[in-house]
Chain A
Amino acid sequence: MTNRRSLLIGGLAAPLAGCAGRGASPAARVVVIGGGFAGASAAGTLRQLAPEVDVTLIEPNPVYTACPFSNLVIAGERRLDAQQFSYQNLKAAGINLVQQRATDVDPATRQVVLENRQVIAYDKLIMAPGIDFQWTIPGLSAGNADRMPHAWRAGAQTVLLRDQLRGMRPGGTFVMSIPEAPYRCPPGPYERASLIAHYLKQHNPKAKVLLLDGKDQFSKMSLFRAAWTTLYGDMVEWQGAADGARVVEVDAGNRTLHTDFESVSADVASVIPPQRAAAIAERAGVADASGWCPIEPRTFASMLQDNVHVIGDAAIANAMPKSAFAANAQAKLCALQVVKALNSETPVTSKLINTCYSLAAPDYGISVAGVYAPGDRAWLDVEGAGGVSPLDADIAVRRAEAGYAEDWFTTITREVFG
């Protein structure tokens, strides 16, 4: 906490001074692509730090649907509209809201092209477009994904997966395919498995939850596995890479998942595809061969294009996980660095923190926290800082952490969307 607070205090005071004397010079133009946790936070922070800067936020959706807590929607414990936030408060704060999709970026002329062909010029561009899916698992495509909903961008698929689970035959098997890292929200699949088990335990107690994983280890692994045994007996079964469980092909029509060694037929399936930075990142030339966007750690400046910064899930932040918490923290630091750059000031060096809460049941929370420092080439984990919930905590601790999770969601969404 200390690090973040000192950043904000240091940040709020300093950058304004340089702008005061600008007088008649035209306002600097900062354009943000993507109104998720990263982009909306960046736009709001810019507005606060530098009222004289012209801030434009480009986002095609009128309403943002947040992923954190969306696993509760799948479990029937929360309504989708509790996940939805409008951009009206950002607009009221003086941000130019452009409800369009960016289709192209030309870093040479510093212009963004929109779907309606309008062109927006910038001095600095912050890209926060999140993820797109890689349809590399044979048999799975954007066209048939509704048969095995990933629900990894909250919205229609979240509700679809909930409804498919509600309709599952008694004693049926729910199968989830989990990709190799990096992907959005490392503990998310295991939280989903837990909350689905919570739902099934009440409504379909003979059902099974089978996880086919491309990895051997996962975030909060021992905490999740202990919670599964305590809460759900043998309902949840996890198979990892050592079991040969990586899904190599699917048949969406009859909901069959193939590993190298087995074919599993599911009654309901959720296949989370591998991911990469959203397509606009590649158009802008800020994504590398990995599909993600390399950045200069301290400032989030693109390694590949001048005057472009990349934050949130799309960026390669190394040790920092792809989380809403991290996206928000990166956005605040990046906004500060952009204002500094506009004022020809040297960037600050700041650590960032992340906490990922997960629910193993609606009233059973576990967490992992980390502190990260910008190295020359990568965001590094500060060893010895942070940590995970204790393995042997009693139920009161788990209940308290579930409460913290909810408080975190309320706080961050209020901070970002007003």
Chain B
Amino acid sequence: MAGARISVPSRARSGEVISIKTLFSHPMETGYRRDALGLAIPRDIVSEFVCSYDGRAVFRAELNPGIAANPYFAFSVRADRSGTLEFRWTDQDGNVTVETRELAVEP
């Protein structure tokens, strides 16, 4: 398992709309399935994903049971200043995975 994967350019021109893709390896177990012995498989999901740009949330998603394994998000952000992009996945138990990428913006 690769954990989090992120595709984001390292530099952009000011005002440019950049595309960001993220994938988080996770089974997204719904809690509604049963195993071979008929026992309920406990729910195990990522419940929130937030991308912040220079400290400000620019993309946020709430995830619920039924969303497919390995949640994948593709979204766009307007690059207007150099700064840190932070990607934060939080699971149902509050465990947090954080990744960051630096974005250099040229005027």
Contacts and interface: CB of A to CB of B under 8 A. Distances in A.
A261 B7 contact: yes
B78 interface: no
A242 B21 contact: no
Interface in A217-246: 239, 241-244
A81 interface: no
In this complex, the member of B5, B6, B69, B72 whose beta carbon has the largest number of chain A beta carbons within 10 angstroms is B5
A242 B7 contact: no
A260 B5 contact: yes
A29 B105 CA distance: 72
Contact of B70 (A216, A239, A261): A216
Contacts of B58: none
B76 interface: no
Contact of A243 (B6, B21, B25, B69): B25
Contacts of B25: 242-243
Contacts of A216: 69-70
Interface string A96-131: 000000000000000000000000000000000000
A261 B6 contact: yes
Interface in B37-83: 69-70, 72, 74
Contacts of B69: 216, 241-242
A243 B2 contact: yes
A260 B23 contact: yes
Contacts of B7: 260-261
B1 A260 contact: no
Nearest to B26: A242
A241 B23 CA distance: 9
Contacts of B6: 261
Contacts of A242: 1-2, 23, 25-26, 69-70
Contacts of B21: 260-261
Contacts of A260: 5, 7, 21, 23, 72, 74
A228 to B, nearest CB: 18
A372 to B, nearest CB: 20
Contacts of B1: 242-243
A227 to B, nearest CB: 21
A243 B69 CA distance: 11
Interface string A296-310: 000000000000000
Interface in A244-284: 244, 260-261
Interface of B: 1-2, 5-7, 21, 23, 25-26, 69-70, 72, 74
13 contacts: A239-B2, A242-B25, A243-B1, A244-B2, A244-B5, A244-B23, A244-B72, A260-B7, A260-B23, A260-B72, A260-B74, A261-B5, A261-B23
Closest 3 CB pairs of A and B: A242-B25, A244-B5, A244-B23
Interface of A: 216, 239, 241-244, 260-261
